[in-house]
Amino acid sequence: MKTREFVAGSIDDAPALPQAAPNDPLASMIASDLGRHVADALNALTAKQRQVFLGVHDRGESYAEVAQAMNLSRETVKKYLARANQLMRNAVARYEGSQDQ
């Protein structure tokens, strides 16, 4: 099994995405208010929650891979991910609610 090194830090520390074609949905989302809201929500997570969330959802790693890379149990990874998922869902729901007004 290939392991990856986790790097803690802010989403703002990530390299900038290259300019995409105007019809690129990912680039459009990132540039949108929702994209900025999601980035803020990611930064509000604890470092471990963020590492687990990005490992599973962004890099597609398994719970076991994340657990090994972070020296955590698989159950702890599941708990961090469940909490991070809930916080991210709440953040998106708050954003959607603010758009209805």
Candidate from 11-25, 66-80, 85-99 with smallest mean pLDDT: 11-25
| Containing structural domain, residue 88 | 46-101
Q: Is residue 65 a part of any domain in this protein?
A: yes
What is the per-residue pLDDT across 31-83, written as a single tens digit (0 to 9) for each? 677 778 888 899 999 999 999 999 999 999 999 999 999 999 999 999 999 99
pLDDT tier, 14 (very low <50, low <70, confident <90, very high otherwise): very low
CATH number of the domain within which 55 lies: 1.10.10.10
Domain count, the chain: 1
pTM for this model (two decimals): 0.67
What CA–CA distance (Å, rounded) separates 33 from 39? 10
Q: Is residue 38 a part of any domain in this protein?
A: no
Would you say 83 and 48 are in contact if contact means Cβ atoms under 8 Å apart? no
Q: Is residue 62 a part of any domain in this protein?
A: yes
Q: Is residue 16 a part of any domain in this protein?
A: no
- pLDDT of res. 22: 62
pLDDT beyond 60 at 20: no
Q: Is residue 8 a part of any domain in this protein?
A: no
- pLDDT of res. 36: 82
Q: Is residue 95 a part of any domain in this protein?
A: yes
What CA–CA distance (Å, rounded) separates 39 from 76? 24
